[in-house]
Amino acid sequence: MKLKIYGSGCAKCQQLAANVEAAATTLGLDYELEKITDVTRIIDAGVMRTPALSIDDDVLVEGKVADVDELVALLG
């Protein structure tokens, strides 16, 4: 599973990344996490608000820090 965090690297972006890792670990998933901070790549992905999360190139969370329970539901 390929997970991408889009954002500037701010505290909210870091929290979303930590929550994603916690959710993936809870589910025992084999995943790759990439953090994308380049504005051009963020725009090219269609992300209008950060932080954002894509799962296998589908943006499913945008403009908020999803909690671990929400991410478990998305990833499961």
Let me know if 60 is a catalytic residue.
Answer: no
Measuring CA to CA, how many Å separate 72 from each of 7, 8, 10, 41, 46?
21, 24, 23, 26, 24
Exactly one of 1, 8, 10, 39 is catalytic; name it: 10
Contact 28, 42 (CB under 8 A): no
Exactly one of 3, 6, 7, 13 is catalytic; name it: 13
Let me know if 69 is a catalytic residue.
Answer: no
The set of catalytic residues is 10, 13
